[in-house]
Structures are given as structure tokens and as C-alpha cells.
Structure 1
Amino acid sequence: MWKSKKGIITAAVLVVSLVFLHFILTHLSFSATDSVGYHLFYISKNFKKIKKHDYVLFPIHETNIKEIQNELKKFKTIILVKQVACVPGDRLTVKGRKFYCNGQYLCTAKIRALDGEKINHFKFNGVVPNGYVFVLGKDVNSYDSRYFGFVPIKEVMAVAYPIL
């Protein structure tokens, strides 16, 4: 009888462990960079509307920045986590290298990448079009909409809630 109880307990521990592992793999995301100020996120793929200040996960497939091109060669697609700074209907203004949303200062684009390469920034003045968001990281070295422009909402994979 003890052997059968031990087998049941072992099976139960295995099932609980598998459920926990499944939860971690499908609901948690880890960001290795300091780009957004957090590293661990709870992921929700069930979102109806993306709002300003939401953190979102989305893929990038190409870039003109060599540092990131090297990563894309390895992985083909990189998933980024960024915070939504401007949503459809907001007015995005770029003055020189400074970005504003509805007149509120957001950030300044860099002139050079970390490796010294000259980089171009996104240029736009107008209303954020329907179906797109402008996203930013919190770090000065964040690779975000300052450099690649709007993110199509249809490409947003999940909304991320910061944990740590």
C-alpha cells in the first residue's frame, strides 16, 4: 500500500510541476536588457485594446542598425518589450531629435549607436494613424520607435505587466 501512495504522490508532484512549468513558459517573459526598467513581466495574450503606458511585446524582423542586425542574423526575429507612448489619434511631433506626444516631451533620439555608427531617427509630424502605436524604452540606449517608427497593433503579441 505504501508503494502505491508513493507512486500517487510522485505522479501528483510531476503533474503540478508540469502545470507550473507550462504557466512560466506561457505567462512570464524575461527582458535581458535595461531598456524598459523592468526584467520580469506577466504576459497576457487576451487584450482587447492597447492603451497609452501599456507594455507590449512585438517582433522586429529587420533593422538598419548593425548591432541589432547581428542579433537578427542569429535569431531571425527578435521580440521586444516596450511601453506605448502614443496611441492612434494622438499627435506625434518630432522637432530635431526631440519627440513629443500631444505637446508633452517624450525623449530625444541619439545621433550614434553604441558602436559609434551614425543612426537615423524616425521623422514624423502628425496624428498617429489608426492601427499603430509609438513605443519607447526608458533607457537612453533603447532601440524603439525613435528609430524604427510606428508598431502595427496587429503585430502586438501580448500586453506585459511588470513584476520586477
Structure 2
Amino acid sequence: MSASTIKQSAEYQHKRHSMRSALFALVSIFTFGAVHLLLSKVTVGSESVKPYLLLRTAGIPKQGDYVTFPFSHPMIHTRAEFWVKFLACNEGQLLERSNDQFFCDGKYFADARLHSKKGELLPQFSYDGQIPEGMAFVLGDGQNSFDSRHFGLVSNKQMVVNRPIL
């Protein structure tokens, strides 16, 4: 073998190795992204909120965000460990209930729901004042959502912000 043939073979092997490394890197990045997306999505299996698929994102929950949080209530017989709701009024904001209507910082955002679909009386939450630090008022988008209008303020310390996908 001549010196030029050996040099060409070495260059070919180096290019081939570089191509394999680049392909491996691209496949790894794609796989990591796909796994991250699958593990960070939230599927909503009820009429509680309109978006069916949400993506967990980083950030401090603020008014208008969809949030997930750990919650249970004796009136709800579900295995759901995390609830998905819309953050309607957050800590430091003024929450008022007047004539079965709720207001946040003076802006109307929801009516009280007095009865369940079966006609049963629902528990009612009434509050007038600044929402304490670490607490929030959450709503579902669905007409029959069981939310803060019934169970009151919830902790915002373990809330995760979600962005609607579908």
C-alpha cells in the first residue's frame, strides 16, 4: 500500500467515525426530547378544563395559568392524585363574592354553582379579602367543575404551570 492510499483510508475512517458520532448525537437528542415531552405532558380526562393535553412548564403560577396540584376532597370519588384547574385569582389579589358572583381585583370571573347535576346542594365558599400568601382560587372550565367555588382556596406552593397543547 502506498502512503497516499493509507492517508486516504485514514481520512475515510475519520470521516466515517465523525458521521457516526453526529448521527448518534442527533438520535440521542431526538430520543431525549421525545421522552421529555412524553413524561412532561398532562392529559386531562374530564370536562374540568378545555385543553385536553397540557405541557408542564417551569415558572411561578400566575393568574390565567393552567396548573396541576395535589388535591383530594371527600365529595370527589376519584383516584386522581393531581387536579388540573385554571388559576383565577392568586395570592395578594382581592377576591370577592357578591350575589353569587366571584370577582378578582374587581373583575367578574365566575358565577357560583349552587347545585350538582343531580340537583344536590353543593358546599359554597365565600370570601371577601386579599388572598393570603401561598394560596390561590382555582376554577375548571367545565360548567359542572368542582373547584374553589366549593372547596375554597388551595395552596399554590406545589402548583405546576401548564401550557395548553390541544
TM-score category (smaller protein): 0.7 to 0.9
2:144 paired with 1:133: no
Tell me by how many angstroms 1:97 deviates.
1.9
Percent identity between the two aligned chains: 32
2:56 paired with 1:57: no
Once residues 52 and 15 of structure 1 are traced to their aligned partners in structure 2, the CA distance between those partners, rounded to angstroms, is 37
Once residues 123 and 141 of structure 2 are traced to their aligned partners in structure 1, the CA distance between those partners, rounded to angstroms, is 19
2:151 paired with 1:148: yes
Q: Which runs of 4+ in 1 moved over 6 A?
A: 14-18
Once residues 78 and 109 of structure 1 are traced to their aligned partners in structure 2, the CA distance between those partners, rounded to angstroms, is 25
Report which of the two structures shows the higher radius of gyration computed on alpha carbons: 2
> Greater CA deviation, 18-27 or 119-128?
18-27
TM-score by length of 2: 0.75
Partner of residue 48, structure 2: 35
Tell me by how many angstroms 1:16 deviates.
8.2
TM-score by length of 1: 0.76
| Residues 86 and 134 in structure 1, CA contact (< 8 A), matched pair in contact too | yes
Which of 26, 50, 60 is the aligned partner of 2:39? 26
Tell me by how many angstroms 1:115 deviates.
2.6
- 1:98-122 deviations in whole A, cap 9, x for unaligned? 1111111111121111232211211
| Residues 43 and 160 in structure 1, CA contact (< 8 A), matched pair in contact too | yes
Tell me by how many angstroms 1:127 deviates.
0.5
Which ranges of structure 1 fall in alignment gaps of 5 or more residues?
1-11
CA RMSD between the two structures: 2.2
Once residues 154 and 101 of structure 2 are traced to their aligned partners in structure 1, the CA distance between those partners, rounded to angstroms, is 19
| Residues 92 and 99 in structure 1, CA contact (< 8 A), matched pair in contact too | yes
Partner of residue 84, structure 2: 81
Equivalenced residues, count: 142
Q: Helix, strand or coil for the counterpart of 1:160?
A: strand
Q: Provide closer, same or farther for how the CA distance between residues 21 and 100 of structure 1 changes in structure 2, counting only shifts above 3 A.
A: same
Tell me by how many angstroms 1:56 deviates.
0.6
| Residues 123 and 151 in structure 2, CA contact (< 8 A), matched pair in contact too | no
